[in-house]
Amino acid sequence: MKVYQVQLVQRQQTLQHDNQQSLLENLEQHNIPHEYQCRSGYCGACRARLLKGQVSYRQPPLAFLQADEVLLCCCQVESDLVLDL
């Protein structure tokens, strides 16, 4: 199983991520708060700015995303990431 490094620039912290859970769940497990409303049916609130790296989606996200944005609840990490968090 591939393990990726996810650097959180604003927090000056790096997490390991293996796609066994969402990035949002990984942040929650590390007590890192981030806005979300996905579980209430609103898509797009968990977006974060991607500074470096690559993600994919199993299904196209419902929310419109800019090229430098990711949805933490449903993206699949494809490389080490740098996020503006």
Structure confidence at residue 43 (pLDDT) = 85
Question: 45 burial class (0-12, 13-18, 19+ CB within 10 angstroms)?
Answer: middle
Instruction: Give me the average pLDDT of each 10-residue run along the chain (85 residues).
Output: 96 97 96 85 88 96 92 96 98
Structure confidence at residue 76 (pLDDT) = 97
Structure confidence at residue 41 (pLDDT) = 66
Angle at Cα 11 formed by Cα 6 and Cα 16, nearest 5°? Answer: 25
Structure confidence at residue 29 (pLDDT) = 96
The pTM for the full model equals: 0.91
Structure confidence at residue 62 (pLDDT) = 85
